[in-house]
Amino acid sequence: MIIKRDPDIIKGYFEDYSGLLGGHADEVVFPENESDAQEILRDAAAKKTPVTISGGGTGVTGARVPFGGIVIATDCFNKIIDIDKKGLTARLGPAVRLSDLGTELSKIGLAYLPEPTEPNAFLGGTVSTNASGAKGFKYGPTRNYIKGLKIILSSGDILALKRGEHLVKKGKAYNLKSKNKEIKIQIPGYTMPGIKTAAGYYVKDNMDLLDIFIGHEGTLGLISEIEIALGVPPENIMSFFGFFSKETDALDFIKDAKRQNALSIEYMDSNSLSLLRTKYPNVPRDAACLVYFEQDFKKGAEDALVDQWTGLLEKHRAMMEKTLFADSDKEREKLTELRHALPEMVNEIVKRNRLPKVGTDIAVPGNNFNQMFDFYRESLISSKIDFVIFGHIGENHMHVNMLPKTEIEYKNSRQVYSDFVRKAVSLGGTVSAEHGIGKLKHSFLEIMYGKAGLEEMAALKKSLDPACILGADNIFPKELLRIN
């Protein structure tokens, strides 16, 4: 193993995309293999030294940022171990980047279908947060594609879990026999919302034990190997940018669009379009919002699909003469560039304002979406804080980005966010649909599950990490562990 203590060398491991400041650690340890990782964890557990497991640094909730102890860098686990083309599976280390995985799979005509949005993310990080991407409307989140995990516990023991081998009941204890011992795992009993969520430990009745480790945010163990399901990518994809002069027409269109077999359905509000116009003057000035959607197709079927979608756009009074359509990779790249430009432009504003953005990750059940959307709009207009709304509207999951210009506005943004959380929870929603909780959203998770729910999460963690060294302050406050 390699140990680094030079502050100038290791400071890069004290940050992620969250902007959380003040991270520090005594050292960053680079295991060179699984045995090294076991030794590091055993030693840390014996000394009660806090351990933060570091992935690619692309998270947005501060889970990777350490506050004391040591950091374990997972960079050595960056091998694609095996790809089974016939069985449509692959085994990989957690430090394989999504972009590298995609490149290798494309050579043999396969794909990792959930395709989380950040290409530089480590696969292990996406498992740790149950990440999803723009095509989540059709393919769903990471969880649906994890077939097995190898997890090194803080005791140094290794769990090799395969989907289907261990079914557990919520609210009950489960005795898991590992190679060297029997581990009594306390399964929480709270009820999760029945929608896309990445908030806290995953719990359902008669669930697979494997699922507890998908979205654990580095608090239960170090993932050393991942087995994923693969798929065949779409033969062809067509993309549409449908502009609407009335937001109500767009929302009605989306209701109908959800009944189609789309890959993705995304949304941008009027403020998003105003921002894009500063760089892309062809964005219609009279457009109130944009619905961006994709459809996969086979050769010969494109005309019928284009007619189907065009008819739907016309039915809901889209601005047909300004609708953009692409059915080739080259044309789709132009639309993708415009779509991805928005978050980059938001980040430029954040830098200019010298204050963090306050961005939500909330989703609600479909029958309550319009009520939540109206609440967003009314609250934001009343706050007089600059904002943009965009995101995965097909999954009732929007990213509201508030862009405060002063410290007072920043404080007010946090209060507005709390109001959003309470409203979403009252509607059966989740406080995090794809990014996790990390160190920044403890209070929101407590609103969702109550103090009793967080206590159950702490009990689960202690059953798997009795030394309580892993991922301190991720998901819930470390004080709930009541350790010396």
Helix axes 407-426, 442-464, angle to 10 degrees: 70
Residue numbers of the domain that contains 304: 235-328
The CA-CA-CA angle for residues 303, 309, 315, to 5°, reads 130
For residues 112 and 230, the answer to whether their CB atoms sit within 8 Å is: yes
DSSP secondary structure, 393-450, as one string:
GGGTEEEEEE--SSHHHHHHHHHHHHHHHHHHHHTT-BS-SSS--TTT-HHHHHHHHH
439-465 residue pLDDT tens: 999 999 999 999 999 999 999 999 999
Instruction: Indicate if 246 and 287 belong to the same structural domain.
Output: yes
Instruction: Indicate if 115 and 168 belong to the same structural domain.
Output: yes
**Domain's final residue, options 328, 357, 386:** 328
DSSP secondary structure, 151-170, as one string:
EE-TTS-EEEEETTS-EE-T
Residue 357 lies inside a defined structural domain of this protein: no
For residue 212, the domain's CATH number is 3.30.465.10
Token couple for 23: 């991270």
For residue 249, the domain's CATH number is 3.30.70.2190
Instruction: Indicate if 165 and 283 belong to the same structural domain.
Output: no
Residue 24 lies inside a defined structural domain of this protein: no
Instruction: Indicate if 154 and 277 belong to the same structural domain.
Output: no
**Domain's final residue, options 308, 328, 348:** 328
CB atoms within 10 A of CB 324: 17
Instruction: Indicate if 287 and 164 belong to the same structural domain.
Output: no
Write b or e for each residue in 133-168: b if 16 or more Cβ atoms lie within 10 A of its Cβ, otherwise e. bbbbbbbebbbebbbbbbbbbbbbbbbebeeeebeb
pLDDT score at 300: 85
Residue 107 lies inside a defined structural domain of this protein: yes
For the chain, list residues with pLDDT below 70.
Answer: 179, 483-484
The count of domains in the chain is: 2
Cα-to-chain-centroid distance, residue 235:
26
pLDDT score at 483: 63
* Residue 70, beta-bridge partner list: 27, 51
**Domain's final residue, options 328, 355, 371:** 328
Whole-angstrom distance, CA of residue 432 vs CA of residue 425 = 11
Instruction: Indicate if 108 and 167 belong to the same structural domain.
Output: yes
Instruction: Indicate if 127 and 253 belong to the same structural domain.
Output: no
Instruction: Indicate if 212 and 246 belong to the same structural domain.
Output: no
Structural element, H or E, at residue 292: strand 289-297
Instruction: Indicate if 107 and 205 belong to the same structural domain.
Output: yes
Whole-angstrom distance, CA of residue 201 vs CA of residue 216 = 6
Instruction: Indicate if 278 and 211 belong to the same structural domain.
Output: no
Instruction: Indicate if 263 and 174 belong to the same structural domain.
Output: no
Instruction: Indicate if 157 and 216 belong to the same structural domain.
Output: yes
